[in-house]
Amino acid sequence: MGSVIVVGGGPIGLASAMLLAREGHDVTVLEKDPQGPPATALEAWRDWQRTGVAQFRQAHAMHARFRHLLDAEFPDIRDDIVASGGRRVSIMTGFLNQLEDRSPRPGDEKFETITARRPVVESAFARAAENTPGVKVIRGVSVAGPIAGKEIAAGIPHVVGVRTKDGRDYAGDLVVDALGRKSEFDDWAVGLGGGHRSRRNQTSVSRTTRVITNAVTVSSPSCGARPSRSKPRSKRSACLPTTKRGSSRSSACPATNR
Ligand SMILES: Cc1cc2nc3c(=O)[nH]c(=O)nc-3n(C[C@H](O)[C@H](O)[C@H](O)COP(=O)(O)OP(=O)(O)OC[C@H]3O[C@@H](n4cnc5c(N)ncnc54)[C@H](O)[C@@H]3O)c2cc1C
């Protein structure tokens, strides 16, 4: 079996690492942000510094397919999310409310998902990864780019590992790009003489999330929402279940219209 370097320790990097380790590979996850997952859902929301993920404290809702994958591959993570206050919800509930005949039909259960705040979901993945034999998560390591080895196929760079910004090398038979939407891997591949640069477009949309708990109002540190506002910023806002103690409200509006 091989050695794998996963670059990026968000949910996708951690899930990839666990699945690859189950296949018998020796997996190292390199994550830029130094802090590991806090013990509780509240601490994960309030204290977890994740500057590598701009949307970390924006409201997230997970699709039903996410729950299907948890059931099949990560029931322990599913149970951890629920134990941390995640909710089971179904988009069918909203649809059925608009109909006279609301009787359930076979297959409705397919639309049920499990959702929680992003820090809660990610901390469940991070805890599971830490307890997975064959997975080593190294935090506080910023990758500067891939290392090219001897060419195997003409015109296709052969990546044999990565170099960190402080000059350390990590060798791997396989390098997985899990750097999320701001990944520089396509630029790095072009730098090595292969691949294509991806096109990025500005959407000119800005998002804010506001979290309301039973006892106090907590503003998202990353979006600057003010605790004193009693109404959401936009009519296009959505109320999403988060923990047993609160809910979050998210809105998106053109950046020029804030
Ligand atoms: C405003 C907003 C709202 C969203 N809402 C939803 C939603 O409701 N539901 C949903 O399913 N999805 C939602 N998404 C998408 C979701 O957030 C992403 O799909 C998810 O974050 C992807 O996870 P990932 O692990 O691939 O990447 P990320 O979560 O971006 O993780 C990438 C990791 O790489 C690390 N990293 C970065 N550079 C380096 C480096 N040089 N070296 C080492 N590590 C590095 C970062 O610190 C980070 O931990 C939303 C996205 C945005 C922007």
Give the pLDDT means over successive 10-residue stretches in the chain (258 positions). 96 98 98 96 94 93 95 98 93 82 88 94 97 98 96 90 98 97 92 85 86 62 42 40 48 50
Three-state DSSP class for 165? coil
116 pocket-lining for ligand 1 (C-beta < 6 Å): no
30 pocket-lining for ligand 1 (C-beta < 6 Å): yes
State both tokens at 248. 């979050």
pLDDT value of position 252: 58
CA dihedral 223, 227, 231, 232 (to 10 degrees): 20
pLDDT value of position 249: 55
113 pocket-lining for ligand 1 (C-beta < 6 Å): no
Cα 137 from Cα 178, distance rounded (Å): 13
* Strand ranges inside 116-235, DSSP E: 135-139, 143-148, 159-164, 169-171, 174-177, 205-213, 217-219
Cα 66 from Cα 11, distance rounded (Å): 12
Query: Crossing angle of helices 11-22/118-130, nearest 10°?
Result: 30
State both tokens at 33. 């942000």
Atom of ligand 1 nearest to the CA of 33: 47
Residue 56 CA to ligand 1 center (angstroms) comes to: 7
222 pocket-lining for ligand 1 (C-beta < 6 Å): no
